[in-house]
Structure 1
Amino acid sequence: MTPSIVTAQALQEFIHSAFAQQGLPDADAAQVARLMTEADLQGSDGHGVIRLPQYIKRIQAGGINKQPDIRIVEERPAMAVVDGDNGMGHLVVSKAVDIAIEKARTCGVAWVSTRYSNHAGPASLYARRPLEHDMLGLYFAVGNANHLPPWGGMDMLLSTNPIAAGIPTDEEPPVVLDMATTVAAYGKVKAKAKRGEPMPEGWMIDREGKPLLDPNRSNEGFLLPIGAHKGYGLALIVGLLAGTLGGAAMGRDVIDFNSDFKTVTNTGQAILVIDLSAFGDPQLFKHNVDRLVRDIRDSARLPGVERIWLPGEQSHEKRARYRDGGIPVSAGVMSELHTLASQLGIPALKETAFA
């Protein structure tokens, strides 16, 4: 079915209204709405407004603290641990990034971990934030449900455990890598289900090791790691850094927030921020990154390849295109949002006609 097209402003206002109606302070509702809209603007449709009904269910069930006391509980000059008090993950991680940026100004580098956080949307939102300050960001997170067994096993003890990096440039779009340690993030599986599309072979297998293509049967199998055993190893390390190190859940302690709306997830994330000026002239660094980007883009291509893309370029282009021409929202997601609006007693999200 043809997707609906909505403006970023309409989407942000709708999300804001939903959270405000549920009792989030207005400033918090606005911040979460802005970040969720930014996710859809950059094409991360598995982590944007598609998650709103799920977030609202957790709030209504008491699984998320609407007015958390987000605070530092451990601190040294170049590190901190932030306790999110079970608040919305977008708020918790945003505060962690702000703290890391300020610490990096003094120390050159800073690591901030979170505990008792929640799902916070796409990793790239937070890896990009330091770029505005001539800093680069590295982000790690424990996924909010286990969909990955150890290599060769069947017990799902690991998650998609994403990693993201934001590298500043001068004239080129910033280099922004955002990847799950599985072939596909579970949000992409959910997005496929909402659009009524099958999964490509290689995303998931069933418990007999056969390809699983129906996203509506995803609970019958598990995601595959990138690079086989190497992806499993990377998922483990990311989880230890983002979860165990900061006192957050990992392994058997991870709560599946897709099916359990009440239990505190104790989600862990971590942000590493590096101030370019601690290593030399930031402008020279950005100039050198630009040069490398152009070398890669202009390098020889295999037959049939029209363009070599850099990490983050396609999201950068989508952001510009969707801001001008509207954000596509699948029919399945739009139907859920209309139902949600009716349940909450707020104005429905309206499709927009563009010239």
Structure 2
Amino acid sequence: MSVNSSAATIATPIAAIHGLIRDAMRACNLSAADADRVAELMAEADLTGADGHGIFRLPQYVRRIRGDAVNTTPDIRAEIRGPSVAVVDGDNGMGHLVMSKAAETAISLARETGIGWVGVRGSNHAGPGALYAEMPVKAGMIGIYSAVASANHMAVWGGTEALLGTNPLAVGIPAGNGPPVLLDIATTVVSYGTVKGRVLQDKPLPEGWMVSKEDGAPLTDQTRTADGVLLPIGGYKGSGLALVLGILAGTLNGAAFGKEVIDFNADNTSATNTGHFILALDIARFMPPDVFAAVLSEQLANLRSGQTIAGMRIRMPGEQRTARRAERSSTGVPLAAPLVTQLDALATELGIATLSARV
């Protein structure tokens, strides 16, 4: 473990991160297989740069499990509703486990019929959308994922009350031997996990992230985030996108949406009934996958070679994620020093080895 004093971060080996998450989940009574799967996906979030969705979330997950808000022994079931459609009931299990089942089901349906759409209810926060959009990609398919965020931090356009979440959209497209095209965006200017990271490090928020609920003025004071709402991407368009994704991931599946959403940041005892959906699309039903890959690779190369604005470079969605994964696998994941302190305290409380002791 090496410390970058200028940035106040600690480079932490991924094996230590995985081990701490796994042992914490075991201490919270998840089975060995389930604990390892949750640790695998949370560690992957850290490796690929989704810093607000990896080990950063561990203390919060543990609080909710210990508050009986999450079922540690869920009976996660997929009900096939038609040739290409299924609904997964997560039985209030960890979202990572529920969405793993949903992605497997969508891929299986797509192998049979060319497309698989799986709605999810009875789930929990599951980390970054890219994790699940990428699962069909690894099977040679296109993946599309969304969820109702686990708290409302955005107002409907024109309003001041937080009734919408950061409801993400993630799309994964295989690109042959190159990195997949992998778009993973919140429908707000920034995810709330990123805001929480700034709060933990006691850093002001950049202007343009949040506005005051009271008067719509920019809110940059990290101690007053409860007084603000996140701004949508693209003005009213982002608000509209969050709304329709919430309907598809929530309402359609019998999951929470709007005022029904439980703020899992503030509530450690209530089930959230989080909803998601995932779609898998078999490229082979359109053209041979190798032909698709060759054509797309050429198109992406043409896009990358376009004229650039001074001081900028062109990159495709997913490229930075792939590069970051390679770098962090080698040099470690940069964790904020206050987070490491928090995680060490959590480990001591759970009676497991601290993060600092694992390197």
Is 1:350 the counterpart of 2:356? The answer is yes
Matches within 5 A, 1:65-144: 65-73=71-79, 75-144=81-150
Shift of 1:267: 0.1
Q: Paired residue for 1:216?
A: 223
Matches within 5 A, 1:159-170: 159-170=165-176
User: Which 10-residue stretch deviates more, 213-222 or 227-236?
Assistant: 213-222
Matched to 1:226, the amino acid is I
Which of residues 212, 230, 242 is equivalent to 1:206? 212
Shift of 1:255: 0.3
Local SS of the residue matching 1:157: strand
Matched to 1:43, the amino acid is G
Is 1:280 the counterpart of 2:287? The answer is yes
Q: Paired residue for 2:263?
A: 256
Confirm or deny: 8 A CA contact 1:70 1:87 kept in the other structure.
yes
Which of residues 178, 190, 193 is equivalent to 1:172? 178
Shift of 1:352: 8.0
CA distance in 1 between counterparts of 2:338 and 2:199 reads: 9
Is 1:60 the counterpart of 2:66? The answer is yes
Q: Which consecutive unaligned segments of at least 5 residues does structure 1 have?
A: none
Which of residues 283, 291, 297 is equivalent to 1:290? 297
Local SS of the residue matching 2:87: strand
Matches within 5 A, 1:268-347: 268-305=275-312, 307-347=313-353
Q: Paired residue for 2:41?
A: 35
Is 1:237 the counterpart of 2:234? The answer is no
Confirm or deny: 8 A CA contact 1:6 1:352 kept in the other structure.
no
CA distance in 2 between counterparts of 1:308 and 1:176 reads: 15
Confirm or deny: 8 A CA contact 1:240 1:250 kept in the other structure.
yes
Q: Which consecutive unaligned segments of at least 5 residues does structure 2 have?
A: 1-6
CA distance in 1 between counterparts of 2:287 and 2:149 reads: 35
Confirm or deny: 8 A CA contact 1:4 1:351 kept in the other structure.
no
User: Alpha carbons of 1:171 and 1:73: their partners in 2 closer, same or farther (altered >3 Å)?
Assistant: closer
Matched to 1:282, the amino acid is P
Percent identity, aligned pairs only, is 48
Local SS of the residue matching 2:342: helix
Confirm or deny: 8 A CA contact 1:5 1:351 kept in the other structure.
no
Confirm or deny: 8 A CA contact 1:101 1:110 kept in the other structure.
yes
Confirm or deny: 8 A CA contact 2:153 2:229 kept in the other structure.
yes
CA distance in 2 between counterparts of 1:321 and 1:66 reads: 34
CA distance in 2 between counterparts of 1:214 and 1:298 reads: 41
How high is the TM-score relative to the length of structure 2? Answer: 0.96
Which of residues 233, 239, 244 is equivalent to 1:226? 233
CA distance in 2 between counterparts of 1:276 and 1:74 reads: 22
Local SS of the residue matching 1:119: coil
Shift of 1:81: 0.5
Which of residues 36, 45, 50 is equivalent to 1:44? 50
Q: Paired residue for 2:4?
A: none
CA distance in 2 between counterparts of 1:102 and 1:73 reads: 13
- What is the number of residues matched between the two proteins? 352
What CA RMSD, in Å, does the superposition of the two structures yield over aligned residues?
A: 1.2
What is the CA deviation profile of residues 25-71 of structure 1, one whole-angstrom value per residue up to 9, with x for unaligned ones? Answer: 01000000000000000010000001000000000000000000000
What is the CA deviation profile of residues 101-145 of structure 1, one whole-angstrom value per residue up to 9, with x for unaligned ones? Answer: 000001101100110000000000000011111101000110000
CA distance in 2 between counterparts of 1:194 and 1:331 reads: 10
